[in-house]
């Protein structure tokens, strides 16, 4: 079944935690561990190794805590990475669980939350997009969706990327003619929109299709997304033949176009398995100290895309160990399919299947296929993993050389591992935003990009905007470092503080950045430079400004110059995008949003009754009171709001 299930995780937060004895600062890591062994129970659970500064070094699970931790206390037979970790241990903490499966789920949750540096770590934890058919309206809407889902919605996925969802949505609209507009737009339509003209919507908003006919289209879409595409296409082909025999060529042509749209989905998806309906496929490739894991998503017997991950892990870890840890973390907050296929034989496959069965509330099987179609699909995923890893290694090697060149150019003490680039965007001071992009050895770290709404700077004052953005950024970093938050955010991968800050601008922008850094007390820790556009804003004539040095330029064909241009352009692209989002939100804002007590439900009811916000503003008090969900007090406030404005 293609409909997404929400994992039902056990309540692990209330599990009892064993008391940890205070560690003596003079003891070695092995001695600390051996001291804890004396008091450990022989129950399943999770252990945490903690460094002298309180940092969690490693999180592990065990069927028998005492036996597992004893292996560390021996101090022999470990890999170099484990030995290095054990020497850093200053304390340990433990949580007992009822079963080893619960311990595995808790371990995965803790790893994602605490991000210990010696664990296998997912680098990309973005949510996946879904297709949703909303059932809370007389004419259900089909749309892309992320995040929490209403109980009444039919949700299908996950899809590997927004691109995969958008492609499928476009084709589904051609095949089933379902509306994609918002409820407020639907309620205000008086004539068909452009989507109807290009044959992607049946236009239920203006009655060009009745409720029964539209409901049939919705049912067909559900059937297709649930894996019944072959039956649906056969039925549509039969209907097309009957229409042609009856000389109803217009209906036959419509059915022909819909059949073509359905066929285009399945052909574009490539591999569509016959031996299973729902599964996730994991394949791993490793080379040069880097690992790639390709994940393919199959739902309703269709390939719904794939995504490549590059987890962080110790060099001594085997491919099977990395893959097993990755799969456990992958499903910490994601729906689990009934079948998981892996390219490696996992030592803990049965335990992993048991734990994921607990999370999903139904049986989940984890296996390495040995023959047939399943093995061919895993082999295809493995080929994709090797190809993605090759591209990543080539890109990383090139980036490393560019970072070395940047170090020499700017006369830095070390190669910059984290570069933050800042830019602002606004139109005559309106909808001003500040933006930060992050780059390093692995390229652009898009998961760490940040944007700020400018709150204090005067409209159009670029220098004040830059001051506000950097002040807020440094304040956030200092607060995280001091641990002022009651619930601190998970530690970011790599260095939290930047090695190099680049500002889009000249000497004045650089002076602002240096002044903010001095006020924050970090001016001696971070290299700061600005990139000024050349004469007539020509690329290739940029001047680099740094404290204590005269402005300088680079040869036009210098690869480091191209790299700096890419960084600046990416910051500019991100800032412009953030500004456009803010401006678009302002353009589509409704006056109803300004009235306290009007949420999405009441707003929907008002627009459905009066057609638009302007219609609400002209409504009489008695008419407002008649709207379902609008009390007499709220009606009075709505009426007064529009009378005042």
Q: Which of 275-284, 374-383, 532-541 has the lowest mean pLDDT?
A: 532-541
Question: Are 572 and 633 part of one and the same domain?
Answer: no
pLDDT digits (tens, 9 = 90+) for 173-205: 887 889 988 888 898 888 888 888 888 899 999
**CA distance linking residue 531 with residue 510, whole number of Å:** 9
Question: Are 434 and 562 part of one and the same domain?
Answer: yes
CATH (domain of 285):
3.30.420.340
Report if residue 79 sits inside a domain: yes
Is the backbone peptide bond immediately before 158 cis, with ω within 30 degrees of 0?
yes
Tokens linked to 568: 């600046």
**Residue 601 pLDDT exceeds 90:** no
**Residue 251 pLDDT exceeds 80:** no
The SS3 of residue 280 is: strand
Of the candidates 555, 586, 617, which is a domain's last residue?
A: 586
Report if residue 2 sits inside a domain: no
C-alpha to C-alpha distances, 568 to 141, 289, 407, 531, nearest whole angstrom: 40, 30, 17, 8
- Identify whether the C-beta of residue 381 lies closer than 8 Å to the C-beta of residue 283: yes
Averaged pLDDT for residues 119-148: 83
Confidence of residue 282 (pLDDT cuts 50, 70, 90): very high
CB atoms within 10 A of CB 37: 17
**CA distance linking residue 427 with residue 356, whole number of Å:** 51
Question: Are 203 and 339 part of one and the same domain?
Answer: no
The SS3 of residue 538 is: coil
* Residues 132-144: b if buried by 16+ CB within 10 A, e if exposed: bbbeeeebbbbbb
Report if residue 395 sits inside a domain: no
Question: Are 451 and 569 part of one and the same domain?
Answer: yes
Report if residue 402 sits inside a domain: no
Report if residue 512 sits inside a domain: yes
Share of the chain above pLDDT 90, in %: 30
CATH (domain of 630):
1.10.150.20
The most distant pair of C-alpha atoms in the chain lies apart, rounded to whole Å, by 93
**Residue 327 pLDDT exceeds 50:** yes
The pLDDT of residue 266: 55
Question: Are 545 and 456 part of one and the same domain?
Answer: yes
Question: Are 472 and 604 part of one and the same domain?
Answer: no
Question: Are 493 and 539 part of one and the same domain?
Answer: yes
Question: Are 311 and 456 part of one and the same domain?
Answer: no
**Residue 502 pLDDT exceeds 70:** yes
The pLDDT of residue 486: 40
Averaged pLDDT for residues 57-73: 93
Question: Are 454 and 531 part of one and the same domain?
Answer: yes
Of the candidates 340, 369, 390, which is a domain's last residue?
A: 390
User: What domain count does the chain have?
Assistant: 5
Question: Are 233 and 334 part of one and the same domain?
Answer: no
Question: Are 566 and 430 part of one and the same domain?
Answer: yes
* Contacts of residue 451, Cβ cutoff 8 Å, sequence gap at least 6: 433, 434, 435, 436, 574, 575, 578
Averaged pLDDT for residues 350-368: 92
Question: Are 51 and 71 part of one and the same domain?
Answer: yes
The model carries a pTM of 0.63
Quote the domain boundaries for residue 209: 130-226+228-268
Report if residue 151 sits inside a domain: yes
Report if residue 7 sits inside a domain: no
Averaged pLDDT for residues 428-434: 73
Report if residue 404 sits inside a domain: no
């Amino acid at each position: 079944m293609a409909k997404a299930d929400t994992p039902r995780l056990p309540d692990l937060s209330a599990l009892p935690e064993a008391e940890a004895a205070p560690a003596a600062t003079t003891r070695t890591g092995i001695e600390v561990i051996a001291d804890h062994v004396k008091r450990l129970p022989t129950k399943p659970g999770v252990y945490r190794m903690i460094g002298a500064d309180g940092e969690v070094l490693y999180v592990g699970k065990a069927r028998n805590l005492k036996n597992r931790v004893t292996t560390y206390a021996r101090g022999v037979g470990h890999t170099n990475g484990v030995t290095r970790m054990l020497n850093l241990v200053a304390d340990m903490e433990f949580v007992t669980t009822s079963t080893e499966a619960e311990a595995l789920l808790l371990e995965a949750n803790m790893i994602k939350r605490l991000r210990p540096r010696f664990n296998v770590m997912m680098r990309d934890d973005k949510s996946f997009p879904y297709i949703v058919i909303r059932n809370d309206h007389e004419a259900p809407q089909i749309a892309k969706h992320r995040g929490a889902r209403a109980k009444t919605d039919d949700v299908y996925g996950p899809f590997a990327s927004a691109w995969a969802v958008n492609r499928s949505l476009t084709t589904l609209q051609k095949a089933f003619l379902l509306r994609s507009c918002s409820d407020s737009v639907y309620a205000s339509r008086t004539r068909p929109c452009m989507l109807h003209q290009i044959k992607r919507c049946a236009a239920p908003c203006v009655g060009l299709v009745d409720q029964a006919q539209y409901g049939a289209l919705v049912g067909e879409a559900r059937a297709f997304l649930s894996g019944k595409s072959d039956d649906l296409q056969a039925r549509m082909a039969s209907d097309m033949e009957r229409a042609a025999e009856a000389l109803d060529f217009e209906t036959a042509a419509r059915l022909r176009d819909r059949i073509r749209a359905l066929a285009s989905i399945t052909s574009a998806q490539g591999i569509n398995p016959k031996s299973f309906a729902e599964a996730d496929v994991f394949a791993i490739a490793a080379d040069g100290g880097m690992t790639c894991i390709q994940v393919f998503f199959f739902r309703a017997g269709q390939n719904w895309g794939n995504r490549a991950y590059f987890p962080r892990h110790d060099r001594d870890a085997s491919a099977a160990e990395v893959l097993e840890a990755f799969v456990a973390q992958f499903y910490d907050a994601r729906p689990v399919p009934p079948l998981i296929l892996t390219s490696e034989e996992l030592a803990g496959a049965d335990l992993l299947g048991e734990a994921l069965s607990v999370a999903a509330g139904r049986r989940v099987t984890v296996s390495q296929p040995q023959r047939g179609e399943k093995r061919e699909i895993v082999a295809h995923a493995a080929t994709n993993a090797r190809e993605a890893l090759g591209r990543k290694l080539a890109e990383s090697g090139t980036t490393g050389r560019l970072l070395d060149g940047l170090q020499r150019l700017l006369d830095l003490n070390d190669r910059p591992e984290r570069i933050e680039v800042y830019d602002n965007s606004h139109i005559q001071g309106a909808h001003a935003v500040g933006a930060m992009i992050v780059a390093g050895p692995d390229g652009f770290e898009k998961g760490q990009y940040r944007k700020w709404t400018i709150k204090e700077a005067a409209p159009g004052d670029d220098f004040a905007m830059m001051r506000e953005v950097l002040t807020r950024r440094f304040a956030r970093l200092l607060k995280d470092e001091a641990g002022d938050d009651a619930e601190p955010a998970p530690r970011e991968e790599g260095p939290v503080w930047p090695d190099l800050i680049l500002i889009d601008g000249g000497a004045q922008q650089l002076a602002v950045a240096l002044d903010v850094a001095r006020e924050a007390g970090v001016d001696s820790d971070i290299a700061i430079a600005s990139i000024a556009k050349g004469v007539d804003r020509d690329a290739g004539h940029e001047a680099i400004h740094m404290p204590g040095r005269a402005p300088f330029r680079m040869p036009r064909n210098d690869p480091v110059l191209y790299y700096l241009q890419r960084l600046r352009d990416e910051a500019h692209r991100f800032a412009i995008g953030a500004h456009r989002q803010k401006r678009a939100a302002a353009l589509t804002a409704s006056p109803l949003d300004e009235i306290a007590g009007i949420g999405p439900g009441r707003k929907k009811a008002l627009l459905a009754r009066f057609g638009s916000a302007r219609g609400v503003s002209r409504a009489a008090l008695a008419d407002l009171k008649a709207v379902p969900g609008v009390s007499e007090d709220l009606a009075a406030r709505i009426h007064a709001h529009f009378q005042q404005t």
